[in-house]
Structure 1
């Protein structure tokens, strides 16, 4: 199974113009089974390049054979029309459950204004068995908010692992109560806005009290190598130097099945680079 994660910067490339077709072209060449996207926009003409189109619909239409899930954490209304910004997930494989998690956003007067953050969780019937695939985009400006979001992800992961451990099907229950099996095994990906070695990175990977501990898939497949930069390439104004913000984390039971994790550093279609996970 191939999973691609990409902060697409609402399709705004190096030239400041929005070209969703360029994003779509890169994704098609990568030929993923699951696509996890951050910074997807709809009806936001004030963003650089004017993101006025509904990119959630454009992407779903371009990948019509995929099951599409959208989760805009930011939903603002102007003239009764929604202005959306957030995450999207598309899967070739059957999705049996979806959970949309809104992450904590505690007030932080010391930080510039941020925005609501969320995480998509999809239970996917992958060739190797059921797996949860989760994609998120954590706070950039506020360390306090980002740590709160990391802690919520750890709690949600523990909750899922515990539910998987105690799961017993009951066919007598009505459909809303009969969700089916939701495994502990999981792939987390996205723009985490943290650096390797930071306190919040260490906290996310701390093995205590989470059920199945998480492993950085890059470190597992590139032992002893620094993370390849996922932003700060090609002369974009942000950030001021190349660095790693985007990751795949997998539960320790899946780590031996990870065949490769790579950063596709060639494209200038976004200020982030797509990252690719291949897992058997």
Structure 2
């Protein structure tokens, strides 16, 4: 089975609120023998100042890695102070043939806190064939921005499907044609509830033959309510009941390969839980 884990690690936070990347890696390795990891809220320059993008590469040898910064600002103090960065990361046990870093829309929404958002796309040479994997983190506070970001993810799915279907003319250097996979997984923290307007829009069919996104939870456990992925360990008296913000979506041409999906409910630290999807996508 091909196994993908997605997790908003909230800068490597542990149950005491401190940063502990060794624990994050141990949790990932205990959860499953993964093929690909999609991480959100990886940071650099914040907290203890560590470059977590580099640190995770070092802690996961044998993985190809790609990163995309949603925020990239000057650090305090001297002009050469370490920059403040946060964003997404993908680590793969299989070769990454190509990476794309998509800045997501950020339309003004006066009076609402918000930050830039990004989606990181890679084409992985998996044992079962080429697979496109996208790690995304959408806006939390602004529904207006989140809907705009959902529309952009839909546009990117159509674009990628067309590239995969018609190919690219090859040339030299950066014009060399690298295949863009048709079958795809879209994973991450979407800050939307199951059945919400944003969730329904992401899953809506296209007006051409582009394969729509399918919710892997519905594919793996049809008829069952989404398991919560946020707030499982929030013991505050005024805490909201646990809910779902983290998903994996499969393109419709891959939907028949989805076999299993589960949530790692045991881990604490980040208020999000890691999510695992298993696909029948390995060579026989």
Root mean square deviation of aligned Cα: 1.5
Provide the residue aligned with 2:61 in structure 1: 64
CA distance in 2, matches of 1:165, 1:239: 48
SS class of match (2:199): helix
CA distance in 1, matches of 2:119, 2:61: 23
CA distance in 1, matches of 2:125, 2:19: 34
TM-score normalized by structure 2?
0.92
SS class of match (1:53): coil
Provide the residue aligned with 1:100 in structure 2: 101
CA distance in 1, matches of 2:133, 2:167: 19
TM-score normalized by structure 1?
0.93
Provide the residue aligned with 2:17 in structure 1: 16
CA distance in 2, matches of 1:103, 1:64: 30
Map Cα deviations across residues 209-257 of structure 1 (whole Å, 9 max, x no partner): 3611110000111111000000111126696220000000001111111
Query: Offset of 1:174 from its aligned partner?
Result: 1.1
Provide the residue aligned with 1:47 in structure 2: none
CA distance in 2, matches of 1:88, 1:217: 21
Is the 1:169–1:180 Cα contact (8 Å) retained in structure 2?
Answer: no
Map Cα deviations across residues 140-190 of structure 1 (whole Å, 9 max, x no partner): 0000000000000000110111111211553xx112112321022110000
Q: Which runs of 5+ in 1 are unaligned?
A: 45-49
Match of 2:184 among 186, 189, 199: 186
CA distance in 1, matches of 2:195, 2:249: 14
Q: Which runs of 5+ in 2 are unaligned?
A: none
Provide the residue aligned with 1:258 in structure 2: 258
Number of matched pairs:
272
The answer to whether residue 119 in structure 2 is matched with residue 109 in structure 1 is: no
Is the 1:135–1:189 Cα contact (8 Å) retained in structure 2?
Answer: yes
Query: Offset of 1:91 from its aligned partner?
Result: 0.5
Provide the residue aligned with 1:74 in structure 2: 71
